[in-house]
């Protein structure tokens, strides 16, 4: 996975995500997939990026949306 991310980031002209960013994005994708459907995962990650939200902030927002009673 790391090699793909390094290569894809280079093609896009951006930095490779940190381990913490990858973990947060995977958490966001997991919440989106379980709260909606699997196809919501990649689009949710794209929306977070489009909004300029950090992966950690986006994952937390997804958790709040999926379980409003949890905070």
11-26 pLDDT, tens digit each: 999 999 999 999 999 9
pLDDT in tens, 7-63: 999 999 999 999 999 999 999 999 999 999 999 999 999 999 999 999 999 999 999
Report the C-alpha gap between 12 and 32 in whole angstroms. Answer: 25
Q: C-alpha distances in angstroms, 37 versus 57, 59, 65?
A: 21, 16, 14
pLDDT band per the 50, 70, 90 thresholds, residue 69: confident
Hey, where are the domains in the chain? 18-66
d(CA 18, CA 32): 21
Residue 71 reports pLDDT greater than 60: no
Q: What is the pTM of this model?
A: 0.87
């Amino acid at each position: 996975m790391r090699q793909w991310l390094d290569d894809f980031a280079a093609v896009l002209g951006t930095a490779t995500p940190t381990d913490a960013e990858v973990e947060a994005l995977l958490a966001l994708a997991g919440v989106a997939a379980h709260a909606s459907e699997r196809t919501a995962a990649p689009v949710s990650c794209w929306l977070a990026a489009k909004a300029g939200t950090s992966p950690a902030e986006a994952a937390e927002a997804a958790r709040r949306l999926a379980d409003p009673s949890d905070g």
